[in-house]
Amino acid sequence: MEYQRLYNWVKLAGAASELEFGPNQIALAAWDGRPICIGRYKNRLFAFAYKCPHASGLLSDGFIDALGNVVCPLHRYRFSISTGHNVSGEGYRLRHWPVEERPDGLYLGLPFTGPAPPDL
């Protein structure tokens, strides 16, 4: 049986158009009172941490480069927007989450932490 990652989906907004994307293609959203970043790259949306794992630079003040990497404004560390891997070689990992646009809103996928359903 192929492993399928399970998520708890929480609604972030009624639609992606409700978010205010800056010229850097990053918008701020909140889940449970905590800020997160939503990045737009090649007409897809990605969710990632508000602060850089290196020195806590605000990633909402950074940008997304032409290769789809989130660039921290403090030290220019780069992270893949889709995997969170540090691509500039420093060894850090950026927290990231899947995003789904549905007819009734924009959803953030949080890792499922409860017991596995009986059919898995």
Q: What does the pLDDT look like over 40-62, one tens digit per residue?
A: 999 999 999 999 999 999 999 99
Tell me which residue of 56, 50, 48, 18 sits closest to 109, measured CA to CA: 48
Question: Structural domain tally of the chain?
Answer: 1
Residue 116 in any domain: the answer is no
What band does 6 get if pLDDT is binned at 50, 70 and 90? confident
Residue 1 in any domain: the answer is no
- pTM beyond 0.75: the answer is yes
Containing domain of residue 104, as a range?
A: 7-108
